Chain A
Amino acid sequence: MKFVDEFREPEVIRRTAAEIRALADPTRVYRLMEVCGGHTHAIYRFGLKDLLPPNIELIHGPGCPVCVLPMGRIDDGLAMTEQGEVTLTAFGDMMRVPGTKGSPLQRKAQGMDVRIVYSPMDALKLAIGNPHKHVIFFAIGFETTAPSTAFTLLRARSLGVGNFSVFCNHVTIIPAIRAILDSPDMRLDGFIGPGHVSTVIGCRPYEWIAKDEHKPIVVSGFEPLDILQAIVMVLQQLRRGEARVENQYRRVVPWDGNIPALRAMAEVFELRPFFEWRGMGFISQSALRLRGEFAQWDAERRFDAPGIRVTDPKAAQCGEVLKGVLTPAQCKLFGNECTPERPVGALMVSSEGSCAAYFNYEHRKLAAAAAGSRAAL
C-alpha cells in the first residue's frame, strides 16, 4: 500500500481494492489484459498488483508503439537517411531501439544526421528552416499520435513544403486486439481499454469485443484509482454474465471520439492491406499509409527501402511477452543479456514496454531484497 497515500483519495483507493476482493470469485482465475503500455507502466509503478487478490492476473497488451515496430522498419528508416542530404527526425523513444546496424542514436554517433523531435510539426518546421536538406519524420504510434502526423501532412501540403516526408509506421489498435483474441494460446476474460487512444477513436470501435467475443472492456484513465475502478467494472460485468463496453475515463474520453482528429486521419491515411508487428507477425489492415494524394510527402515512395524482414535475436522472446503468453521475467534474456541500459528487444527500451516496467520496479525491488537478505546473513 506504500504508493497509495501519494494519491488523491487514498481511502477511496483502499475501499476500491476491498471491493475488488469482494467481487472476485475465489474459485476462479481472472485474466484481464491492459492494452495500453501507459497502463502497464502505472500498474508496476504504483504496485497495483499488490492490491489485487492473487487470482486476478493482469496481462500486458501490445499497446507500446516502440515495442511493436519490427526491426526491419528501423533499418528501412536509417537506409532512407543514407540517400542524399537527409535529416531523420524521430521521437526520443525511438532513438535507442536497436536495428540490425545499430540504433538511430548509435548511427547519429557515427555521423548520421538524426535528430529528436517532440512533435511532427517540429520536423516540418525543421524542413522549412533548412530548404537545402530533406527532412524525414519517422512516424510511429497508435491513434494517439496518428492525427498529429496527419495534421502535419495537411500543413505541409497547404504550405507547399517540398523537402519534407513521412516514413509512416502508424498502427491501429483494434486489429491487434483481434489478433490476440484469435491467438489459440491466449485466454482472456476481459480488457482494460486504452485511455488516450480512445480519446481519438472513442468507445464504439470496441463494441465487437463485447458483442462477438463476449468479453467486457472498460476504457480506463491512468491514475491508480482509475485502473482499480476499471477492474471493478470488468468484474461486475463478469459477475452478472454481461459483456459491454464501458467508459471509466469519461472525463477525457468522449464516446464518439475526437471528430476533427478522425477526419484528419481519414483525409491523409488509408489502411495497409497488412503490416508486420514485432513478435506478432503480419496482421491484416492493422497499419496506416499515406493516400496517393500525399505521395510527394511519402518517404516510402520517395526513397528506396530494403524492406527486409529481420527476425528478432533468437533467444529473445519479445513476441510471447507482447502477446502476454510469457511474463517479462520468463524470457531467457531478461535481466541478464537484456536490460534497460543494454536493451536487446524494444520492450526493454520504452518506459511503456512491459519488460522495462517490470525491470525498473519489480526486478530492482527483488534484487534489493535479495541483497538485503544476503547482507543480513
Chain B
Amino acid sequence: MCLAIPGKVVEVFADDPPSATVEVAGVRRRVELGLLGENGAAIGDWVLIHVGFAMSKISEADAVEQMRMLAALGEDEAAIEEIRGYGSAGQ
C-alpha cells in the first residue's frame, strides 16, 4: 500500500472534481486528479498513483524506474491488478 504506481496520463476529464485516464503497462484506467493541486495534470504527464488517486507528478525517467522497482519487489503484477481493479469493484 505504501508503494505507488506510475501511470501516464492519456486523457483528462475537466469535470469537478477532475479525473484522468492513465495507462500503466498497457492497461488503461480512470484515476482521480482531485488531490493533485491547482496545476492538475495534462496529457503526457506521468503521475504516481495511490489507491486510485494521482498524488504527485513525476518525470518519465522516474516513472520507468518506479515500475522496474515494483517488478523487482514482486509487486508489479499486484500493481497491474490494482489498476485493472479501479472502477470494477465487486467483480
Contact = CB atoms under 8 A, between A and B. Distances in A.
B12 interface: no
Contacts of A115: 89-90
Contacts of B74: 45, 351
Contacts of B83: 118
Contact of B52 (A41, A119, A129): A119
A195 B48 CA distance: 12
Interface in A109-152: 115-123, 125-126, 129-130, 141, 144-145, 147-148, 151
B34 A145 contact: no
Contacts of A125: 87, 89
Contacts of A252: 48, 56, 58, 62
Interface string B47-91: 010111101101100100110110011110010001101111110
A63 B59 CA distance: 26
B14 interface: no
Given A42-B73, A45-B72, A144-B50, A196 B88 contact: no
Interface in A1-21: 3, 6-8
A38 B85 CA distance: 22
A179 to B, nearest CB: 20
Q: Main SS of chain B's interface residues?
A: loop
Nearest to B85: A118
Contact of B3 (A38, A121, A200): A38
B73 A145 contact: no
B2 A118 contact: no
A65 interface: yes
A89 B52 CA distance: 15
Given A125-B87, A148-B35, A41 B73 contact: yes
A200 B65 contact: no
B37 interface: yes
B35 A151 contact: yes
B55 A261 contact: yes
Given A36-B2, A37-B2, A259 B69 contact: no
A117 B51 CA distance: 9
Contacts, number: 135
B88 A122 contact: yes
A116 B69 CA distance: 24
Contact of A91 (B1, B3, B34, B66): B1
A172 to B, nearest CB: 15
Given A222-B3, A351-B75, A122 B52 contact: yes
A200 B55 contact: yes
A119 B51 contact: yes
Given A118-B82, A148-B53, A260 B89 contact: no
B89 to A, nearest CB: 4
A314 interface: no
A89 B32 CA distance: 19
Interface in A130-188: 130, 141, 144-145, 147-148, 151, 155
B36 interface: yes
Nearest to A263: B35
A213 interface: no
Nearest to A150: B35
Contact of B65 (A8, A118, A264, A351): A8
Interface in A214-231: 222-223
A352 interface: yes
A279 to B, nearest CB: 19
A189 interface: no
A46 interface: yes
Contacts of B73: 41-42, 45, 351
A121 B32 contact: yes
B50 A118 contact: no
Nearest to A141: B1
Given A91-B1, A145-B51, A199-B48, 5 more contacts: A42-B69, A119-B51, A129-B90, A258-B55, A261-B55
12 contacts: A42-B73, A45-B72, A66-B1, A87-B90, A115-B90, A117-B89, A122-B86, A126-B89, A130-B90, A145-B51, A151-B17, A223-B69
Interface of B: 1-4, 17, 32, 34-38, 48, 50-53, 55-56, 58-59, 62, 65-66, 68-69, 72-75, 78, 82-83, 85-90
